[in-house]
Amino acid sequence: MQRYHSDNGRFMDKDLLEDVKAQRQAIMYCRVHAHHQNGKAEKRIRNLQEKTRLILLHAIHQWPNVITLQLWPYALCVANKIKTPRTQDGLIPWTIFARTKEIPNLDRIHPFGFPA
């Protein structure tokens, strides 16, 4: 039997629970403030928050009259798209997902907040 492990947020949605039941699957929930039960997801969220904060602070420093905290969602998208290559093979998660060895040209990506 396949089992899901999640938090109580959107995964308590009625439609999802009905589908899980129809597929004869199970779902388990993390306890409140039990970050140790979902470590990989929590680490990814923390890394994204730190990268987003860094991107925004850099942009505000470079262009203080224009960049505001309301741009957080856009900075989060940038933080999610730009990844650091793995040490063992030099691939970034996008190339692994796309099943290609071709690494995108990162020189063409403008820094967040860059006036283009």
Same-domain check for residues 54 and 81: yes
26, 76: one domain = no
User: Whole-angstrom Cα distance, residue 36 to residue 38?
Assistant: 6
Whole-number pLDDT of residue 6 = 73
Q: Rounded CA gap, 93 and 84, in Å?
A: 8
Q: Which domain holds residue 74?
A: 39-108
- Same domain flag for 71 and 103: yes
Q: Is residue 59 domain-shared with residue 22, that is, in the same domain?
A: no
Residue 8 has φ and ψ, to the nearest 5°, of: -90, 0
pLDDT digits (tens, 9 = 90+) for 21-69: 898 888 877 777 666 666 777 788 888 899 999 989 989 988 889 888 8
Counted domains in the chain: 2
Same domain, 70 and 90: yes
Judge whether residue 1 has pLDDT over 60.
Answer: no
51: in domain? yes
The structure's pTM equals 0.57
